[in-house]
Amino acid sequence: QKEVEQNSGPLSVPEGAIASLNCTYSDRVSQSFFWYRQYSGKSPELIMSIYSNGDKEDGRFTAQLNKASQYVSLLIRDSQPSDSATYLCAAQYSSASKIIFGSGTRLSIRP
Amino acid sequence: GAGVSQSPSNKVTEKGKDVELRCDPISGHTALYWYRQSLGQGLEFLIYFQGNSAPDKSGLPSDRFSAERTGGSVSTLTIQRTQQEDSAVYLCASSLWTSGGGEQFFGPGTRLTVL
């Protein structure tokens, strides 16, 4: 059973600090990885996708992928209260397969 | 419209009744997905469509659940003889298959309550 694992949290980070969210996956051949943000009572929205080993930066967000260690992480710099949400990690094992979502990490940014 | 739309936004039904949930994907998106999310829980995959065909129906919880997609666009998820455990938010998402399907855009969901 292919799985994506996340710490459910809550993860509490002071405003202005770096929030680090981690995710591990079980299948070595997985190809594509995604981070979604879900505010309470709302639908998930895509933040970033990453396909190659290394870092990918987009504004205050950096996704990091390490296929050898089978983990993907999301760093949020200069955390803001508006970043408080549940962050879902997702993996896709081939271009023809569905994506597998983790159960999400709840992030709380304290002022 | 610009985004994925779903209807109804809320549905309250009695146990044993059938319900139909509708999803209208983003124009041009060939892949369409249905998920279920119970309160405080993660996303539960139900089924996805590539065009009008469903390569993966593995997430449908029972034979009371079915889905179809016509014209490569609108999809309907039908739940027959609803049970209280079917109460959840049903989310639909669509994507361009050229992206591998992982970059999904979600609709606002249908909140189903079975009394």
pLDDT of the residue at A2: 64
Cα→Cα distances A69→A25, A53, A73, A93, B27, Å: 9, 11, 12, 16, 38
Q: B108 - beta bridge partners?
A: none
For residue B36, the one-letter residue type is R
Residue A50 confidence class, pLDDT cut points 50, 70, 90: very high
Q: For the ranges A3-7, A12-16, A60-64, which has the lowest average pLDDT?
A: A3-7
Pairing verdict, β B88-95 and B110-114: antiparallel
Q: Compute the mean pLDDT over every residue in chain A, rounded to the nearest whole number.
A: 91
pLDDT of the residue at A95: 62
- Residues with Cβ within 8 Å of A56's Cβ and at least 6 positions away in sequence, in order, are A48, A50, A62, A63, A64, A65
Query: From CA B109, how far away is CA B9, in angstroms rounded?
Result: 6
Pairing verdict, β A61-66 and A54-58: antiparallel
pLDDT of the residue at B101: 63
For the cut 60, the answer to whether the pLDDT of residue A35 exceeds it is: yes
Mutation site for A-interface testing, chosen from B56, B104, B110 by largest number of A Cβ within 10 Å: B104
pLDDT in single tens digits along all 115 residues of chain B? 589 999 999 999 999 999 999 999 999 898 899 999 998 888 999 998 988 988 888 899 999 999 999 888 999 999 999 999 999 999 999 988 655 567 899 999 999 999 9
Q: Nearest Cα to B22, choosing from B82, B90, B84, B88?
A: B90
Mutation site for B-interface testing, chosen from A1, A89, A99 by largest number of B Cβ within 10 Å: A99
End-to-end distance of chain B based on CA atoms, in angstroms? 33
Better-scored residue on pLDDT, A7 or A54: A54
Contact criterion met (CB < 8 Å) for B100 and A43: no
Contact criterion met (CB < 8 Å) for A46 and B101: no
Q: What is the pLDDT of residues A51-77, one digit of tens each?
A: 999 999 999 999 999 988 999 999 999
pLDDT of the residue at A42: 95
Give the minimum alpha-carbon distance from A31 to chain B in angstroms, rounded to a whole number.
10
Q: How many CB pairs under 8 A join A and B?
A: 50
Query: From CA B48, how far away is CA A75, in angstroms rounded?
Result: 30
